[in-house]
Chains A and B, each alone.
Chain A
Amino acid sequence: MTPSLEIKNLNASIGERAILKNFSLTIPRGEVHAIMGPNGTGKSTLAKILAGHPDYTVQSGEVFLDGEQILGLEPDVIARQGLFLAFQYPSEIPGVTIANFIRAALVARQAKGAPFDAKAYYAQLYAKMDELKMDRKFTSRFVNEGFSGGEKKRCEILQLAMLKPKYAVLDETDSGLDIDALRIVSEGVNRLRGPDTGFGVITHYQRLLEYIVPDRVHIMWDGRIVHSGGKELALELEAKGYDWVKQELATH
């Protein structure tokens, strides 16, 4: 059986409000799954629950990462087990440089007390930044502070490239990117594609999926997946809009 990120019958709420309603989805390693859905349907909520955000209450359901239940684990433990979330709205961390931040994330993955190879680290960091066309000066800038929307998204992909997770959930990484940046970021993701990595790509736009061609496309509606198909589903959705999904739901 291919290892996978498996979400089973997840029900979750914030406060009194139910957001995920019997949500199920399986992303096998080596595949890219796109998740599309109208504003407020719960895509970011899903992403944050997977990453272990403490604000949500999970009523029922399970999440398995390569067969191991991760629901309820601390966010840092989940991350070290191999799940990466590229945030829709990355936090600004005043006073902490990107170099120190990524370094701390890598050190956390080493055996306790193991020496850190700073030279190799910077070589790799600079190489990835060059690939993403990020100015090397960014290493000494504070994480996301004063970054433009597009710069923040690039910085998320830089972290993704440095941390090499087993699964990555990208939450609207394309929003706020200009056309060139969209291409650069997509290429960054495509370089990481391979049999060992699974992707969940949350997006509103078909255009991203021309660059990052998905294996599967899922449509999310009111807290669950209501429609799944191949990459052509995104085109169909683009052409028909969400009313079409709504009508389909009503007739079924």
Chain B
Amino acid sequence: MNTPTTTLGILDAPAQTRETQLFHSADWFAHLRQQGWQRFQTLPMPTREQEKWRFSDTRTLSLEGYAPAPAPSEADVAKLLQRSQLISHPAGLMVHIDGHCVLEPQLSPELAKQGVIFESLEKAVKHHPALLKQHLLQHPVNLGGDKFQALHQAWLRSGYFLYIPTGVHVAQPFVSVQWTLAENSAVFPHALVIADDRAQGQVLDFHFGAQLDSRALAISCCDVHTGQEAKLERLSVQGWGQQTQSFQVDNTCGGRGAKIVAINAALGARRARLENTVRLEGPEANVNLYGITVATDGQEYDQRTLQIHAAPHTKSDLLFKNALLGKSRTIFSGLIKVEPDAQRTDAYQTNRNLILSPEAEADSLPGLEIEANDVKCSHGATTGQVSPEELFYLQARGIPLKVAQELLTQGFLEEVLSKVSHPEACDLLRTLMQEKFHRS
């Protein structure tokens, strides 16, 4: 599909496009976007000389040639809606194609009655301005992706708003599927999740390219806020097309006694950068952060994480596991920051890389910054190959080398996969990883 020449590219001021008309009723929103645009223009493109971009291949970074794509054809909508039926009984399913919302979720009357909100950002801006004004893109960008986040803000249009009110428990997951379809499409998926005090829920975020080799630019942001004693699990699956550049900035805040599990799976894109900041704001907040990656030939996965402990008795535990095939690269850079008041904190960080090809390269940069004195912290990174003895054991049962390597890789990743509590989502992720392994 070709983009009509009349459409402006993302490097043209979005203020001149029909974009603003979309939200003409919300001045504050137009203003927010404008601020993003201004910030974008003043910020330089990152270079690898900057500490926050160390090891990252910034030479191949480019924002040229991408544009927001026009609405998809009915036939394409039908096809992709079909492919979006990934989970049998979601609490709600939302689908976007090239940034256009093509399916608004239908919540059950019970959920609606309890005050649960799950709707597209497009709608939420009009329906819930107060909540959005308060929370939309209010986090500082800590990990170096300011310029991309600013562009996201400038083009902010699509995404979802999820609100689970105080004390409401939702058993079924909220599912959002974002597709890129048009060649050179630019998308800016946004997710705002608020789980109020003692609320419980699960979010499944899928990002896919309609074709395996889709070329696109995706800059996504997700902000998660949890109230006291809230419980939230979020799985984000990055499966953009293999020619896509992906930037993802996630921010998660844990309130007093909140329990959060956040899992980032990375499969797609040519290059993908994930910036994931977790802030434990309330005492006894507890966050588990997981990463799972299968990197194949030509891919670069750049993972930057920050665990901020801002309150006492908080706990964070991070585990990022990367399997590298072909000529692929992963970078993991993680920082644990314990603020002076955050006594009796437990903070852990582990990065494990499994190298399956002599051409693959994994870099690991763990870090600690501790300003409290009564804390338990540890960080560690290992990079290694498949154990020859394990390989021999499998082969001695008649399993061919390539299959044995795949089994061992799956075994390696299983530790993180098993953290996906939704069985169907877990199976889906497992299948996606297997398919990717077979293609390599």
Contact = CB atoms under 8 A, between A and B. Distances in A.
Given A95-B411, A95-B415, A53 B397 contact: no
A54 B404 CA distance: 16
Contacts of B395: 52, 74-76, 79
A93 to B, nearest CB: 6
B393 A90 contact: yes
Nearest to B412: A95
A87 interface: yes
Contacts of A102: 397
Interface string A37-59: 00000000000000111100000
B398 A96 contact: no
B408 A76 contact: no
A95 B433 CA distance: 15
B411 A94 contact: yes
Contacts of B394: 93, 101, 104
A95 B386 CA distance: 13
A101 B407 contact: yes
Given A75-B392, A104-B403, A93 B398 contact: no
Nearest to A96: B411
Contacts of B413: 95
A74 B394 CA distance: 12
A104 B392 CA distance: 14
A104 B396 contact: no
B323 to A, nearest CB: 11
Interface in B401-427: 401, 403-404, 407-408, 410-415
Contacts of B389: 91
B390 interface: yes
Q: Interface residues of B toward A: which range?
A: 20 to 34
B65 interface: no
Contacts of B392: 51, 53-54, 75, 91
B61 interface: no
Contacts of B407: 93, 96, 100-101, 104
Interface in A46-98: 51-54, 74-76, 78-80, 85, 87, 90-96
Contacts of A85: 396
B400 interface: yes
A124 to B, nearest CB: 16
A85 B398 CA distance: 11
A108 B399 contact: yes
Contacts of A90: 393
Contacts of B404: 76
B390 A109 contact: no
Interface string B377-397: 000000000011110111111
B397 A142 contact: no
A91 B407 CA distance: 14
A87 B393 contact: yes
Given A52-B396, A53-B392, A74-B395, A93 B408 contact: yes
A152 to B, nearest CB: 11
Nearest to B398: A79
Interface string A156-175: 00010001000000000000
Pick from B392, B401, B408 the residue with the most CB of A within 10 Å. Answer: B392
A71 B195 CA distance: 63
Pick from A54, A90, A94 the residue with the most CB of B within 10 Å. Answer: A94
A76 B410 contact: no
A50 B384 CA distance: 28
A95 B403 CA distance: 15
A18 interface: no
Contacts of A108: 397-400, 403
Given A104-B403, A104-B407, A91 B397 contact: no
Nearest to A87: B393
A232 to B, nearest CB: 33
A226 interface: no
Given A104-B407, A142-B411, A93 B399 contact: no
B408 A105 contact: no
Pick from B398, B400, B404 the residue with the most CB of A within 10 Å. Answer: B398
B415 A80 contact: no
A163 B390 contact: no
A54 B395 CA distance: 11
Contacts of B393: 87, 90-91, 93
A94 B396 contact: no
Pick from A80, A102, A104, A109 the residue with the most CB of B within 10 Å. Answer: A104
B438 to A, nearest CB: 13
B411 A76 contact: no
B398 A91 contact: no
A51 B396 contact: yes
A144 B190 CA distance: 44
29 contacts: A51-B392, A51-B396, A52-B395, A52-B396, A74-B401, A76-B395, A76-B399, A76-B400, A79-B395, A79-B396, A79-B397, A90-B393, A93-B390, A95-B412, A95-B415, A96-B408, A96-B414, A101-B397, A101-B407, A104-B394, A104-B397, A104-B399, A104-B407, A108-B398, A108-B399, A108-B400, A109-B398, A142-B414, A159-B397
Interface of B: 387-390, 392-401, 403-404, 407-408, 410-415
Instruction: Please name the 6 residue pairs, one residue from A and one from B, whose CB atoms are nearest each other, closest first.
Output: A95-B411, A95-B414, A79-B398, A75-B395, A91-B393, A96-B411
Given A91-B392, A104-B394, A108-B400, 4 more contacts: A74-B401, A75-B392, A91-B390, A102-B397
